[in-house]
């Protein structure tokens, strides 16, 4: 695998991590501030966003680990 490709994958992993952080923060905030009658639905939405952020974070870790393994084999 070329260094350019490895760098591209590493950059993608970094961007995924940033999106994960943003989604987790947004979901956490939405889950905490929804107290109206429709708050239950919005709260569930917030927690779904938070879950998505956590899942992106997990995937980012897999990407990073894979890159490190490829780099060690070089």
Q: Are 53 and 23 in contact (CB under 8 A)?
A: yes
Q: Which two tokens stand for residue 46?
A: 């917030």
**Residues 16 and 60: beta-carbon distance below 8 Å:** yes
Extents of the domains making up the chain: 3-73
User: What tens-digit pLDDT sequence spans the chain (74 residues)?
Assistant: 678 878 888 888 888 888 888 888 887 777 777 656 466 767 777 888 888 888 888 888 888 888 888 888 87
């Amino acid at each position: 695998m070329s260094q350019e490709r490895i760098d591209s994958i590493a950059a993608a992993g970094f961007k995924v991590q940033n999106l994960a952080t943003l989604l987790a923060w947004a979901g956490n905030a939405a889950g905490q501030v929804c107290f109206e009658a429709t708050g239950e639905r919005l709260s569930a939405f917030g927690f779904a966003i938070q879950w998505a952020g956590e899942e992106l974070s997990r995937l980012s870790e897999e990407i990073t680990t894979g890159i490190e393994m490829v780099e060690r084999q070089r």
